[in-house]
């Protein structure tokens, strides 16, 4: 009896020790008292964009790389799927190059769930050895039925498929080669900014009735001197229209939109995910691939009828990378509890990210390392902050690092939805944190 009791107490004590070592309480220390916040704000004060004065008329070129594998690979976006068995539509990495005679900028978007950090790092390592006068701006379409095998963390290998370094290396080499090719194909071009209201096709899935959404489709239209036309488009609805059980490889509605554009007057089109955090598609009666096609057709009509605002033929381009510091990770277990940071780091990777800044004329593009929510954009009037300096703001997600969802803080500690409970890895106040960073960049770095 005494031995059994000792055994039971030992087991109970060991379980308590394990739980205490793995689980902690959510840290609600006010944002302004957090060392990571103070450090980032200080660093933002010290960093300024590089302003590249124009030396010629704007030039542009583009390249599309088909990255559809010849043999089956894991899929990423939902529950683990270790292979695809059919290609519904090929997936690409697309590159738009813009040059003002002083700097070449390459906007790179992959038909993937996000732009893989390992891939970004390999590309930057290669490009660093080539030319300091080139600026890279990464994004992704956020397709949930595309390729996996690009994340070498424990969770990445389980959820996204076993990491395939040879595939990542090969893709990195192909993208660097495509950047080189694009740099040799530049032609004088006119570049215009466009935006159009498309609120009727997106809703806030955290609060469909009262939640705010960013419903604009934004982008750039390019006409080169040879008459060829290019398009960059961005929208904030999640590409989650294909069943999580599907084994058909696809880029979801962004690929359908690219196809629609290239069938109707554009020689090249690409898509970069906008402020997709907590945003989903609504207002389409069809499902699956038919839904993708219908949404693409309706969004393309919006693009066709949008008002184009031309940039000056010769215009300044500004570039910068702004560091973002993070506190200890706070992956929810229950509303008031979290996985301890050491365990998160072991399962995933340490939180790491930055904000990329690309300003072409009066168009400010900010690339974020997360599912950035358009609700923050709307509620905190980030567009009006940009307009106060006579600029247009264009925020994209998935810039080559990933720190989870950054949603409006009102939902934290209340919502039981996945994007707050499972996909917010950073903790409370980060909506305010990102909003303050964006405003600081817009007001002091232009």
Kindly state the DSSP code that residue 411 receives in the 8-state scheme.
G
pLDDT of residue 132: 60
What's the pLDDT band for 307 if we cut at 50, 70, 90? very high
Comparing C-alpha atoms, which of 143, 150, 145, 140 is closest to residue 75?
Answer: 145
More confident call, 79 vs 31: 31
Report CA Rg, the chain.
Answer: 22
pLDDT of residue 79: 85
Query: Which secondary structure element, helix H or strand E, spans residue 399, and what is its range?
Result: none
What's the pLDDT band for 9 if we cut at 50, 70, 90? very low
Look at the block and give the residue holding tokens 């906007």.
107
pLDDT of residue 21: 66
| 182-197: average pLDDT | 97
**Considering the chain, what percentage of its residues have pLDDT values greater than 90?**
90
* pLDDT tens profile 68-108: 999 999 999 988 999 999 999 999 999 999 999 999 999 99
pLDDT of residue 308: 94
The strand pairing partners of 24, in sequence order, are 338
Report the C-alpha gap between 229 and 190 in whole angstroms. Answer: 10
| 8-36: average pLDDT | 73
Report the C-alpha gap between 143 and 67 in whole angstroms. Answer: 14
> What 3-state class would DSSP assign to 224?
strand
What's the pLDDT band for 444 if we cut at 50, 70, 90? confident
Residue 308 near residue 221, CB atoms below 8 Å: yes
Query: Which secondary structure element, helix H or strand E, spans residue 111, and what is its range?
Result: none
| 401-406: average pLDDT | 97
Report the C-alpha gap between 320 and 47 in whole angstroms. Answer: 8
Report the C-alpha gap between 255 and 249 in whole angstroms. Answer: 11
What's the pLDDT band for 390 if we cut at 50, 70, 90? very high
Report the C-alpha gap between 27 and 39 in whole angstroms. Answer: 18
pLDDT of residue 197: 97
pLDDT of residue 285: 95
* pLDDT tens profile 241-262: 999 999 999 999 999 999 999 9
Residue 228 near residue 267, CB atoms below 8 Å: yes
The sign of the CA dihedral 369, 69, 271, 245 is: negative
Q: What is the dihedral of CA 417, 410, 396, 139, to 10 degrees?
A: -40
> What 3-state class would DSSP assign to 273?
strand
Query: Which secondary structure element, helix H or strand E, spans residue 199, and what is its range?
Result: none
Q: Is pLDDT at 5 greater than 90 in this prediction? A: no
Comparing C-alpha atoms, which of 375, 379, 361, 354 is closest to residue 417?
Answer: 375
pLDDT of residue 432: 98
Report the C-alpha gap between 406 and 278 in whole angstroms. Answer: 9
pTM of the model: 0.94
Look at the block and give the residue holding tokens 């950035």.
372
What's the pLDDT band for 192 if we cut at 50, 70, 90? very high
């Amino acid at each position: 009896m005494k031995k059994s009791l000792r055994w039971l107490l030992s087991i109970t004590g060991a379980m308590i020790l394990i739980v205490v070592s793995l689980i902690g309480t959510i840290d609600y220390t006010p944002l302004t008292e957090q060392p990571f916040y103070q450090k980032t704000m200080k660093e933002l004060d010290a960093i300024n964009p590089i302003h590249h004065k124009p030396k010629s008329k704007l030039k542009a070129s583009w390249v599309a790389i088909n990255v559809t594998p010849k043999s089956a690979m894991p899929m990423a976006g939902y529950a683990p799927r270790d292979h695809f068995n059919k290609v519904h539509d090929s997936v690409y990495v697309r590159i738009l190059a813009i040059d003002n005679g002083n700097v070449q900028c390459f906007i790179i978007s992959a038909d993937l769930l996000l732009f893989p950090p390992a891939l970004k790092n390999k590309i930057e390592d290669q490009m660093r050895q080539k030319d300091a006068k080139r600026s890279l701006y990464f994004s992704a379409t956020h397709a949930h039925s595309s390729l996996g095998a690009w994340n070498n963390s424990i969770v990445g290998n389980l959820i996204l498929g076993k990491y395939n370094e040879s595939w990542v290396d090969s893709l990195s080499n192909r993208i660097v080669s495509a950047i080189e090719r694009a740099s040799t194909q530049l032609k004088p071009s006119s570049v215009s900014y466009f935006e159009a209201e498309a609120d009727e096709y997106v809703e806030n899935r955290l609060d469909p009735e009262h939640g705010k959404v960013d419903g604009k489709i934004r982008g750039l239209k390019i006409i080169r001197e040879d008459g060829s036309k290019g398009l960059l488009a961005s929208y904030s609805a999640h590409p989650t229209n294909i069943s999580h059980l599907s084994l058909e490889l696809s880029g979801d509605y962004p690929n359908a939109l690219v196809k629609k554009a290239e069938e109707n007057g554009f020689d090249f089109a690409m898509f970069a995910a906008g402020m997709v955090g907590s945003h989903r598609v609504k207002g389409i009666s069809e499902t699956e691939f038919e839904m993708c096609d219908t949404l693409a057709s309706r969004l393309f009509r919006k693009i066709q009828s949008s008002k184009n605002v031309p940039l000056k033929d010769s215009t300044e381009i500004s570039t910068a990378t702004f560091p973002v510091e993070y506190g200890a990770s706070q992956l929810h277990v229950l509303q008031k509890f979290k996985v301890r940071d050491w365990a998160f780091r072991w399962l995933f990777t340490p939180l790491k990210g930055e904000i990329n800044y690309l300003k072409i004329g009066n168009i400010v593009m900010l690339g974020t390392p997360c599912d950035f929510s358009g609700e923050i954009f709307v509620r905190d009037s980030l567009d009006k902050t940009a307009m106060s300096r006579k600029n247009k703001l264009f925020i994209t997600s998935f810039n080559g690092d990933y720190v989870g969802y950054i949603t409006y803080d009102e939902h934290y500690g209340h919502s039981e939805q996945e994007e707050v409970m499972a996909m917010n890895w950073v903790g409370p106040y980060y909506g305010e944190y990102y909003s303050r960073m964006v405003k600081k960049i817009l007001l002091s770095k232009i």
